[in-house]
Structure 1
């Protein structure tokens, strides 16, 4: 049984030099390592958007990691938004929007 009281769902928008630097693949790997569900995708405005769902402590760890990203990234800002009511079953890379 999963303890839903200690779960979090957060959508993030990452700004800076985050496209063309392996950010999506890095995010997918890190999220999988933490056992998170959700998705990541590029946006046409040059940002990366992601949804992280899982144990609150692991979601918070991922949010901290997003401020650095992969080695070639230059993150300027990470915006977070609540994402209640969303229950993805895995983590995936989605197409650009």
Structure 2
């Protein structure tokens, strides 16, 4: 098989089973409405829990959609946010506090 563009041989915009990361936000699409809804809730309450079944896309929604939006506003000087990524585990409140 003749080699075409090397980029296509070593890069895929789809992360497979792992979640999208903020650095891959350019490839994350189709959940803009949900990202906006969570963002607007954060503006009102400062805390939003994103819950759902395992594998439903919670982490991708937050990391690929929401966090890049927040970071772009912070970099533009429009607002300051502290982003904390917490995995609840067996001690959710303890993990949040640490």
TM over 0.5: no
TM-score (norm 2): 0.31
Is the strand fraction higher in 1 or 2?
1
TM-score (norm 1): 0.31
Considering only CA atoms, is the larger Rg found in Structure 1 or Structure 2? Answer: 2
Identify the structure with bigger relative contact order (alpha carbons < 8 Å, sequence gap 6+).
1
